Amino acid sequence: MKTTPLRIDRLVAGGVIPGYLSTSSCRHCLYRSGPWRGKGFLEAGPAEELFRRARSLGCRSLHIGGGEPLLQPAGVEALLAAARRAGVGIDYLETNAAWFRDEPSAVALFGRLRRGGLRAVLVSISPFHNEFIPFRKTQGAIAAAERAGLSVFPWVADFIPELEALGAERPHGIEEFAARFGEDYLARIPGRCWIHPGGRALDTFRPVLGRKRLAHVLEESPASCGRELGDTRHFHLDLHGNYIPGLCAGLAIAAADLGPPLPPERYPLITTLAAAGIRGLFAFAQREAGFAPAHDRWWNRCDLCEAIRRFLFERGWDRSRELAPEGFYRPRSPACEPPSRSS
């Protein structure tokens, strides 16, 4: 099969993932962040290199995501300084507010970050976050950021009335939302806010939305995933120096390899997806590793793609470094279940 190598030579808009550590393991997390992911955090020197790399490819501002970056506030301050040195702006910082203790300390923290160049905060709001984080912490972080003079983007504000109705003092399981707002509550969430079919969202929504047979998924999928892999309107660079193509979490391109066409021998999986889509990857995995689906109920092609990649990872397929970071493919720790709740 003759292939045209994927080339990513212009970046539009994106962010940095300084670490995958989070005290939560939300059901919809694209990057499968959680408490077991380790405390590694992007240091100032490598961060400056990544910022300069992004700028050289046309992107002059980035956001900071995670994981939960404010578990390491000094690290965030160092990132802001690195961005200034590289001539890159920071659009906003994402936070789930799990770290919040009281308003005075939060105002002080946000004040330091504002003096370091931060101008806006995106505060995550959803039933999935609320399984781990009492809404009072979310409310407190929003109030503190506003007092510190930061712009605040509550994402997704549409869920606020439901969180208030259940009570702000403790976490609430998804079953509580279903009992209060309807048995189909979980299935309705993708229609209310953006949920990308990847990462832990696949585990969450496959049981309620995964109704497609393998043959149907293969037949309906486009002949190439090149458009998605080459989309740079919401890219991410992480602490390992990897560029995550499109929104395909669990796939990695070395940031140093951006610009020229990607060598197919170094990126066989990404090259195959770009050239022949999920049908090509399915055939590749069958040929290279004897892939056989474990079930026949799929949400979509992204669901099948991650299953194939996980199969290759678990069997030690190592012809490339595309299946990264390793923590994405590690089993979920039982310690990361939502905390028990009293009624």
Instruction: Give pLDDT, residue 334.
Output: 43
- Amino acid in position 57: L
Instruction: Give pLDDT, residue 339.
Output: 57
Instruction: Give pLDDT, residue 343.
Output: 35
Look up the pTM and report it: 0.94
CATH number, domain at 122?
3.20.20.70
What are phi and psi for residue 233, nearest 5 degrees? -85, -10
Is 151 a member of any domain?
yes
What are phi and psi for residue 332, nearest 5 degrees? -70, 135
Instruction: Please name the helix (run of DSSP H) or strand (run of DSSP E) that holds residue 152, with its range, or none.
Output: strand 151-155
Is 336 a member of any domain?
no
Look up residue 229 and give its two tokens: 């892999």
Instruction: Give pLDDT, residue 318.
Output: 79
User: What's CA 189's distance to the chain center, in Å?
Assistant: 18
Contact in structure between 126 and 166 (CB atoms under 8 Å): no
Is 308 a member of any domain?
no
CA of 250: how far to CAs of 122, 183, 310, 323, in Å?
24, 32, 9, 6
CA of 45: how far to CAs of 8, 48, 67, 75, 272, in Å?
24, 5, 20, 12, 34
pLDDT tens for each residue of the chain, 343 residues long: 567 799 999 999 999 999 999 999 999 999 999 999 999 999 999 999 999 999 999 999 999 999 999 999 999 999 999 999 999 999 999 999 999 999 999 999 999 999 999 999 999 999 999 999 999 999 999 999 999 999 999 999 999 999 999 999 999 999 999 999 999 999 999 999 999 999 999 999 999 998 899 999 999 999 999 999 999 999 999 999 999 998 999 999 999 999 999 999 999 999 999 999 999 999 999 999 999 999 999 999 999 999 999 999 999 987 899 999 999 998 764 444 565 554 3
- Give the structural domain span for 88: 9-194
Instruction: Give pLDDT, residue 305.
Output: 98
Is 282 a member of any domain?
no
Q: How many structural domains is the chain composed of? A: 1
Non-local (6+) Cβ contacts of 121 within 8 A are 92, 93, 94, 95, 110, 141, 145, 150, 151, 152, 153
Please list, residue by residue across 172-192, b when 16 or more beta carbons sit within 10 angstroms of its beta carbon and e when fewer do.
bbbebbeeeeeeebbeebbee
Look up residue 41 and give its two tokens: 């955090």
Is 293 a member of any domain?
no
Is 323 a member of any domain?
no
Is 63 a member of any domain?
yes
Is 290 a member of any domain?
no
Please list, residue by residue across 265-282, b when 16 or more beta carbons sit within 10 angstroms of its beta carbon and e when fewer do.
ebbbbbbbbbbbbbbbbb
